[in-house]
Amino acid sequence: MPTWILYIIALSDVNIVCTSSTERELRFHETVASTFSLRIVIRSLPYAVCNMSYSFHPRGKTTSRLVLGDYGGNVRVLEFNPHLRGPFQSKPGAALIELFWTDVLKGKLPQLKCREYINIHTEMIQCAFFSIPLNSLFAAAEYRNVKKYRGRCTGLIVVYGEEKSFFRIPLGVTTFSVDERNNIVVTGGPDMFVRIWDVYIPSEPSGILTGHNSGIVKVFIQSEDKKAYSIDYQKVIKVWDISDHSLLQTFGDLMSIFQGETDLVYHYHKQLRVLLAGGRKLVAIKCNPRVRVDLTDGNTHASPVSVVLYNRLFRNVVTCGLDSFIIVWDPWSGRRKIIMKNCHTKQIYGENIDIEITAACFDPLEQFLLTGARDGSLKIWNYNNAVCIRNMSIKSEHEVTAVIWVVERILAVGWDQQVTEFNDVEGREYTDPKIWPTFHSDDITCADVKLGEGVVTATYSGELIFWKLETGQPYRRYNVENPTEFLELKHSKKLAASTGSPRDSADLSFDYHISVSEEMRKSVMNSIQKLEKTFGIKNSRYKGRKLTVADEQEYSYLQQRKILAPTLPMSVQAVLFLQTRPMTKQHGSVLVSLETGIIQVYSHHQRGGYLTKFNAIHKVGDCVLTMCTDRKNRYLFTGTAFGYIKTWHIQNF
């Protein structure tokens, strides 16, 4: 017969995980090493442990306590000193410690002491907790047998030394939470009511919160904000204000996430303010997360913001995020005007999944919004009334990295390594898109356009191609690692069908491209960190040094990077056309940002090319992710991966 794990608890201050099972034993596993080795096994407990909790002082000033509640209605408390990890201290050659529960009671493991509270309840323990500030033990049980237990039962018992307080509640208590700062206990049970108690007044609750339609299975408190959260058997979460006993919010999305599942488990992390719900899948829910008021007024998107645009026609700001939200803001008051949720979605096994928005732009008249997503879908929005007026797509499951909307044409680039042109002429909107010739051999990361003249595209491997905007034909090709070298334009033919290459196969393309973007960035950061350690380069290398010394060290760093990582491509992070610069060989009209923090300057003239470069960062490992200029191209604004925003004067550069 297989062994069931009944409960698991983390002993955070000593890096131990404890599990209880149907074999009536406790197992303590060490989490310091990656082996997850077993340190102590306690066998033959009188009853199987069905509930555990752990209390410790953050600085180790008091003994740590592991509270065990079992099926016999008993509560046992294991106490130990966490100094040097107590009984779990690692010793060279120390073998696994195996002992029986009777040995623990006899003191054969002197570092582990035990207190027993026998038959504190007549039913199995549902929840138990020891409060160090209150120096009290809380134990709860359910009493569902109405005929056997008439009237209100002692669902919650608080033990303080030799004294006991009885909180009588119909049908008992399934779960409770203690607010040690305000001396409050919140209980929930099968009777569907959430009760708020004063720890020292067990006779009557100070408040009763109603609204659930099934038994309460989990409650927890945020004492700083005076909020209580309750979860019922039907997976409905309610947020309450403890001070005025009012309902603040009802969250029912777990019903759709865990369809057909009833017996879920929950865990609330106080520091991160995250609720974990587990069934066949694991879901993390942010519960009123803390906000640094010195940095922000709060969270606007549920995920990172990917695109920020300013509309000069309507004078508003539009933000798009990886949560598939589009939000329209009034920049003068800072207020949100319109929010559009679930903008890009797809169905997987009957479930709607939100797709991250990765690119966006306005039409030439700035009346409509075009968005591109990670699955290759494109949508045109009348964002003032949140209506989608057109759907398009590049190759399926290939991320859109940049979109360009010029007069009567829409250009989209991404992981499909090609430029896709959509018609924007009235009456021809739904014709097949035009695919520009494929000259790139890797994923396109960014693109920009100069109206009436050309388009520039760049890839992860450092390829840079200039195209004629009117004809869609390329006329110059560069590699950013050797920008002065002449490269012949060669048409890239995909031979996936004949060679069986996984790179272009339909079933593996999505996973491959995800691995390309993630692994490349990881390898870049790893190589940079190794170089920093090898050559002793610190992040703040400009501090207290002359600029010439910093430039020499940067040059040495880049040369060593080529030696140690010759196969690692130098990816392009952003490109920018300077719209007012003339198309001549002498004028730099295109700025290219590399992953090394260098910005290269090119002329997009047919006989032009690479002109110069400059260093745009002051910390090793940083790089420019986005660039923009004013209308007259006098000032360049750059934003880096480390969060720095810089202004450059480029009028005569």
Q: What is the tens place of the pLDDT at every residue in 419-441?
A: 999 999 888 878 889 999 999 99
pLDDT tops 90 at residue 201: yes
pLDDT tops 60 at residue 521: no
Name the maximum alpha-carbon separation found in the chain.
95
pLDDT band at 536 (very low <50, low <70, confident <90, very high): low
pLDDT band at 369 (very low <50, low <70, confident <90, very high): very high
Q: What pLDDT does 436 receive?
A: 94
Q: What pLDDT does 462 receive?
A: 93
Mean pLDDT, the chain, whole residue set: 86
Helix 509-535 vs helix 547-564: crossing angle, to nearest 10: 130
Q: What single-letter DSSP state applies at residue 2? A: P
Using alpha carbons, select from 287, 177, 277 the residue that is nearest to residue 233: 277
User: Are 118 and 74 spatial neighbours (Cβ–Cβ below 8 Å)?
Assistant: yes
Q: What pLDDT does 152 receive?
A: 65
CATH code at 300-420: 2.130.10.10
How confident is the model over 20-33, as pLDDT tens digits?
A: 999 999 999 998 87
Distances (CA, A) of 478 to 405, 412, 592, 609: 25, 21, 11, 8
Neighbouring C-beta atoms of residue 535, cutoff 10 Å: 12
What percent of the chain is modeled with pLDDT above 70? 86
Range in 132-136, 249-253, 528-532 the model is least confident about: 528-532
For 5-232, the fitting CATH number among 2.40.30.170, 2.130.10.10, 3.30.70.20, 3.40.50.300 is 2.130.10.10
pLDDT tops 50 at residue 179: yes
Q: By CB neighbour count within 10 A (0-12 exposed, 13-18 middle, 19+ buried), where does 452 fall?
A: exposed
The residue behind tokens 């696994």 is: 96
Residue range 271-291: average pLDDT?
A: 90
How confident is the model over 439-492, as pLDDT tens digits?
A: 999 999 999 999 989 999 999 999 999 999 999 999 999 999 999 988 888 887
Q: What pLDDT does 541 receive?
A: 37
Range in 14-18, 471-475, 549-553 the model is least confident about: 549-553
Q: Are strands 38-43 and 26-30 parallel, antiparallel or unpaired?
A: antiparallel
pLDDT band at 589 (very low <50, low <70, confident <90, very high): very high
DSSP labels, 487-519: ---------HHHH--TTT-TTTHHHHHHHHHHH
CA–CA–CA angle 553, 557, 560 (5° rounding)? 135
Q: What pLDDT does 359 receive?
A: 96
- Tell me the pTM: 0.58
Using alpha carbons, select from 483, 465, 603, 620 the residue that is nearest to residue 550: 620
Q: To which H or E segment does residue 550 belong? A: helix 547-564
Q: What pLDDT does 562 receive?
A: 54
Q: Kindly report, as residue ranges, where domains of CATH 2.130.10.10 are found in the chain.
A: 5-232, 300-420, 437-484+568-652
Tell me how far apart the alpha carbons of residues 179 and 174 are, in angstroms, rounded to a whole number: 17
Tell me how far apart the alpha carbons of residues 426 and 396 are, in angstroms, rounded to a whole number: 26
Q: Measured on CA atoms in the order 628, 630, 634, 640, is the torsion positive or negative?
A: negative
How confident is the model over 298-349, as pLDDT tens digits?
A: 668 878 899 999 999 999 999 999 999 999 999 998 888 999 999 999 988 8
CA–CA–CA angle 175, 190, 203 (5° rounding)? 70
Tell me how far apart the alpha carbons of residues 160 and 139 are, in angstroms, rounded to a whole number: 12
Tell me how far apart the alpha carbons of residues 643 and 622 are, in angstroms, rounded to a whole number: 9
Our measurement of the distance from residue 232's CA atom to the centroid of its chain's CA atoms, rounded to an integer in Å, reads 27
How many residues belong to the chain?
653
Range in 121-135, 419-433, 603-617 the model is least confident about: 419-433
pLDDT tops 50 at residue 496: no
Q: Is the domain 437-484+568-652 a CATH 3.40.50.10800 member?
A: no
As given in the structure block, the two tokens for residue 159 are 């033990």
